[in-house]
Amino acid sequence: MQQKSDIHHIESISQLARELGLPAPLHPLVTLVDYNNVLIEMFPRGQKVSLDFYKVSFKPTFKGQIKYGQGYYDFEEGGLAFLKPKQIVFPPEDRESYEGIALYFHSDFIRNYTLGNTINQYGFFSYDVSEALFLSAKEKEIIANLFTSIANELDNNIDSFSQDVLVSQIELLLNYSNRFYNRQFITRKAINHDIITSLDKLLNNYFEEETSLKNGFPSVKYISTKLKLSQRYLSDMLRSLTGLNTQQYIQNAIIEKAKEKLSTTSLSISEIAYELGFEHSQSFSKLFKTKTKLSPLEFRQSFN
């Protein structure tokens, strides 16, 4: 007997409309849902959900506190959250979380457009829901106007220009979201610097406790999991503030630890490479020279 999956899978936008108790969408590949008009429970509580299409949620207001990274913050002006196809999420328990408007669009809708090839460059589709984009009043007005424009286009009779217009509107929405996320990284520097401080401490402890001897040098997945952030969000945040993605930041930390060992210990190059988690000393030497323009031996000799 086949075991019933605990994931509620929504394969089409038409299926989504049926389960929300809404009329069939005017276009089978794109729709807007105003949750103020949804009168039924969307999914059973506690059941995970997977969509076969993209979702952009716009909440004009956030009620209460919102989880952001490792803390909770108030941002009452509103915000955006993003989901990509096949991403598994837990629907919230409270009905208030369903307030706002959601844009749903299938990848087939944008497939023959430039956006179909570039949508993976919008990293926020890989962020956790807790890493939502918080909007200022001015930003919220811009996003609200874009959602209104999309709604107006969907309400018009579908013609040969409809898809071109809708795809361009979606792309404009995503480009504004990119801009506003960059602003968020900058304006929330205090919060993000706390994350960087935690990252530095985590990396230092990793090497001090010689975890690298057992597990190799720390991976992006390991670091992001420890910081309770999605890999893409952490990398985008670091790039905005430091110019480095997570992998490059980890490599720099490894090089700094290597410099310390090369200048203060008599360990051989191979021993240092091993302590830092490298399987082969040649890999360590290659990375060190790439980052410093000196071989490990040349760096050590500069201190003698």
Which burial class, exposed, middle or buried, applies to 201 when counting CB atoms under 10 A from its CB (0-12, 13-18, 19+)? exposed
Q: Are residues 155 and 226 in the same domain?
A: no
Q: Is residue 52 part of a domain?
A: yes
Q: Is residue 183 part of a domain?
A: no
Cα 302 from Cα 304, distance rounded (Å): 6
Classify residue 121 by its DSSP letter: G
If one counts the domains in the chain, the total is 2
Which burial class, exposed, middle or buried, applies to 139 when counting CB atoms under 10 A from its CB (0-12, 13-18, 19+)? buried
Please list, in sequence order, all residues whose beta carbon lies within 8 angstroms of the beta carbon of residue 206, skipping any fewer than 6 positions away.
212, 218
Mean pLDDT confidence for 241-246: 91
Q: Is residue 172 part of a domain?
A: no
Residue with tokens 């008599």: 266
pLDDT tens figures, 169-178: 999 999 999 9
Q: Are residues 278 and 204 in the same domain?
A: yes
pLDDT tens figures, 62-95: 554 444 444 444 445 678 989 899 887 766 555 5
Percent of the chain with pLDDT over 70: 86
Q: Are residues 143 and 196 in the same domain?
A: no
Angle between helices 189-208 and 220-227 (to 10 degrees): 120
Please list, in sequence order, all residues whose beta carbon lies within 8 angstroms of the beta carbon of residue 163, skipping any fewer than 6 positions away.
109
Q: Are residues 77 and 205 in the same domain?
A: no
Would you give the distance in Å from CA 271 to the centre of its chain? 37
Query: What DSSP element (H or E) covers 270?
Result: helix 269-275
Which CATH number covers residue 291? 1.10.10.60
Predicted local confidence at residue 5, as pLDDT? 60
Query: What DSSP element (H or E) covers 55?
Result: strand 54-59
The answer to whether the CB of 25 falls within 8 A of the CB of 14 is yes
Q: Are residues 109 and 148 in the same domain?
A: yes
Q: Are residues 52 and 93 in the same domain?
A: yes
Q: Are residues 197 and 259 in the same domain?
A: yes
Boundaries of domain holding 282: 190-301
Q: Is residue 111 part of a domain?
A: yes
Q: Are residues 204 and 69 in the same domain?
A: no
Rounded to two decimals, the pTM is: 0.77
Q: Are residues 152 and 289 in the same domain?
A: no
Q: Is residue 205 part of a domain?
A: yes
The answer to whether the CB of 252 falls within 8 A of the CB of 240 is no
Q: Is residue 1 part of a domain?
A: no
pLDDT tens figures, 285-298: 999 999 999 999 99
Q: Are residues 255 and 215 in the same domain?
A: yes
Cα 185 from Cα 196, distance rounded (Å): 12
Q: Are residues 40 and 146 in the same domain?
A: yes
| pLDDT exceeds cutoff 90 at 118 | yes
Q: Is residue 220 part of a domain?
A: yes
Half-sphere exposure of 164 (CA within 13 A, CB side): 3
Cα 187 from Cα 71, distance rounded (Å): 16
Determine how β-strand 133-134 pairs with β-strand 66-68: unpaired
Percent of the chain with pLDDT over 90: 48
Let me know the angle formed at the C-alpha of 215 by 214 and 216, rounded to the nearest 5 degrees: 105
Determine how β-strand 54-59 pairs with β-strand 30-34: unpaired
| pLDDT exceeds cutoff 50 at 16 | yes
Q: Are residues 144 and 216 in the same domain?
A: no
What is the side-by-side order of every strand in the sheet holding 79-83? 30-34, 101-105, 54-59, 79-83, 133-134
